[in-house]
Amino acid sequence: MRIALIQQSIVPGDKQANYARAGTLVKKAAEQPGGRPDIIVLPELWSTGYALAELDSLASSNGEEEAEFLSELARRYGIWFAGGSVAAKTPRGITNRAQVIDRGGSLVATYDKVHLVPMLDEDKYLVAGDRRCLHTIEGVTFGLTICYDLRFGELLRKLTLEGAQALIISAEWPLARLSHWQALLKARAVENQCYVIAVNNCAMGDVPFAGHTQMLGPDGRKLCQLEFQEEIAMADIDPEAVNRIREAVPVFRDRRPELY
């Protein structure tokens, strides 16, 4: 299974500019000479950026506007979208919602970010989700997470205990904490013995973002990585590699949860 990671330079508050950027990058990913990807992953809040104070006017009802945009691309290119999040206006309030869209353009799963960032006052503009999300795509089970969730190892471990073979982290991770991004991604891959697919914003505005979109294997090895440029990275997932690592180093068998 081939995964395309789209590192987008997101323009805060400008949905039309972000639709144009995403559309161009998706087309480029679909036409890669190495073969069309099965799944495309976009960053966190790819259509609006971190314009939190403007989300009341920018957010679409249940994220339907963005889902329709991606659905058309999914049908055109015959690809899945997984993980990229949008601002979704719901009866509870605005959520930061990851979406999974199949090759036929149907929205088949969503995940609302459960950990809101207090340092950025996210709780003033967003409501937190209250459930985990696992979704199996053509035989591979993915766990969905968003940005700050990465710091909560309990959530990602729970997803792997429930069957995740790969974890998707769509993010707007700041450049100031790039070293944390690198360390935590590797730790989550190694401790959970699964693929980690991490896609970040790379815009260098008033608050510069860290870029460094990457995929890591279940042994923690980097399979692909970008730096600061708006670009696409691609790598393949082999679910049997997860099984081999877990058999060679049987962490899940040797857990003693009664002690922790």
Tell me the CA end-to-end span of the chain in Å, nearest whole number.
Answer: 35
Active site annotation includes 202? no
Q: Which residue has the tokens 């940005």?
A: 147
Q: Give the closest residue to 169 by CA, choosing from 236, 159, 191, 179.
A: 159
Which among 89, 122, 147, 194 is annotated as catalytic? 147
147 is catalytic: yes
Region for residue 98 given its phi and psi (left: phi exceeds 0; alpha: psi -120 to 50; beta: otherwise): beta
Strand partners, 224: 215
| Exposure string for 28-61, b = 16+ CB within 10 A, e = fewer | ebbeeeeeebbbbbbbbbbbbbbbbeebeebbbe
Is 44 one of the annotated active-site residues of the chain?
Answer: yes
Q: Single out the catalytic residue among 15, 66, 113, 194.
A: 113
Catalogue the active-site residues.
44, 113, 147
